[in-house]
Amino acid sequence: MDTLETRELRYFMAVAEELHFGRAAERLGMAQPPLSRAIQQLERRLGVSLLERNRRGVSLTDAGEVLLHEGRAALDATTAAARRTQRAGGAQMSGGPRKRLVLAVKAGASHELLHKLLDAYAAEPDAVDIEVLPSGTCDQEGMLRDGRADVALMHAPFNSLAGFDSEELMTEGQIAVLPAGHRLAAQRALSLTDISDIPDLPLARWSRRGTYPPGPGPEIHDQTQLAQLIALGRTVAVFPDSARAWLWAEHTAVPLTDAPPVVTHIAWPAHSRSLALAGLIRTATRL
């Protein structure tokens, strides 16, 4: 059969990610035996073995690998359905905000564009409330996928637009943000190689899903933290032009000649049919 209950998917995802029944069960807030049994039943129903039970641990079969990816998408779509439904209906009963759109943005990025967009949209006759949801972790894709957001500002090439509809809004170059007193801060322009190997100024390393790329630079997970470390002369970082908006007095921005341009898009789930969303997109493309 091709049923496949949400609960079973949740269970399998937990096991597939932990590769350990005990820890997975703990994460799910249940005991280990029923979890084992549920996975066995799932395997029997699908007629496919998903996990290789080696002594000492568990590993995924090819089919398990497929279910891990496809199941993630399915679970995201399911929770998105629940979230968006609640948002659509919450309005009509509580006297709260009539209708809301949740717009995911990268915290601190494209301030000016965002401001213009929100102002222009608010002036539209049929505008609804826009809730801006800033994400420090650059996870606008996930937010669209699991329904935490209805629409997002994304930045190629950092975000992938795969699976979404999108419109291009703005293209900008990138800058190196240096301590004001540093010798390179006096330059007119720099290249990526100029700043990638400065012994006294190692490039900052952003956290990606909790892990950091290797290198000598400080580990960063927060823009303010980074701004401070730059101001203290400890590191250097690369940002889109629009980051000039939040620079401190102790910072100096120098254009990068060979950094890839950053393209800001407005993106939304491909199947979306919301009129409010269509209005926001229309406004955005007219900016």
Partner DNA sequence: CCCTGTCATACCTGGTGGGTATCACCGGGC
Partner DNA sequence: GCCCGGTGATACCCACCAGGTATGACAGGG
Which H or E element spans position 41? helix 32-46
**Closest alpha carbon to 265 in 129, 136, 117:** 117
CA distance 276 to 115: 18
Nearer to DNA, 31 or 132 (CB): 31
Q: How many residues bind DNA (CB under 7 A)?
A: 22
Residues 206-245 that bind a second copy (CB under 8 A): none
Residues in the chain: 287
Shortest reach from residue 7's CB to DNA, in Å: 6
Tell whether residue 125 is a contact of a second copy (CB under 8 A): no
Q: Which does 163 bind (CB under 5 to 8 A by kind): DNA, a second copy, none?
A: a second copy
Which of 55, 56, 273, 286: binder of a second copy (CB under 8 A)? 273
Tell whether residue 50 is a contact of a second copy (CB under 8 A): yes
Non-local (6+) Cβ contacts of 150 within 8 A are 84, 87, 101, 102, 103, 144, 268, 269, 272, 274, 277
Q: Which does 147 bind (CB under 5 to 8 A by kind): a second copy, DNA, none?
A: a second copy
Q: Which does 78 bind (CB under 5 to 8 A by kind): a second copy, DNA, none?
A: a second copy
Residues 131-170 that bind a second copy (CB under 8 A): 147, 162-165
Q: How many residues bind a second copy (CB under 8 A)?
A: 49
Q: With contact defined as beta carbons under 8 Å apart, do 11 and 28 qualify?
A: yes
Nearer to DNA, 36 or 228 (CB): 36
Sequence-ordered alpha helix ranges (H) in 96-158:
111-122, 140-145
Nearer to a second copy, 8 or 172 (CB): 8
Shortest reach from residue 221's CB to a second copy, in Å: 26
The overall longest dimension of the chain from CA atoms, in Å, is 68
Tell whether residue 69 is a contact of DNA (CB under 7 A): no
Nearer to a second copy, 93 or 123 (CB): 93
Q: Is the dihedral of CA 84, 4, 74, 208 positive or negative?
A: positive
Burial per residue of 9-28, b for 16 or more beta-carbon CB atoms within 10 angstroms, e otherwise: bebbbbbbebeebeebbeeb
Tell whether residue 69 is a contact of a second copy (CB under 8 A): yes
Which H or E element spans position 169? strand 164-172
Give residue 18's identity as a one-letter amino acid code.
Answer: E
3-state secondary structure of 177: strand
CA angle 153, 158, 162 (to 5 degrees): 70
Binding mask 10-49 for DNA (x = CB under 7 A): ---------xxxx------xxxxxx-xxxxxx--------
Tell whether residue 82 is a contact of DNA (CB under 7 A): no
Sheet holding 251-255, edge to edge: 237-240, 174-179, 251-255
Nearer to a second copy, 64 or 240 (CB): 64
Q: Which does 4 bind (CB under 5 to 8 A by kind): DNA, a second copy, none?
A: a second copy
| Residue ranges that bind a second copy, judged by CB under 8 A | 2-7, 9, 46-50, 61-63, 65-67, 69-71, 73-74, 76-86, 88-90, 92-93, 147, 162-165, 269-271, 273-274
Task: List residues near DNA by CB under 7 A.
Answer: 7, 19-22, 29-34, 36-41, 53, 55-58
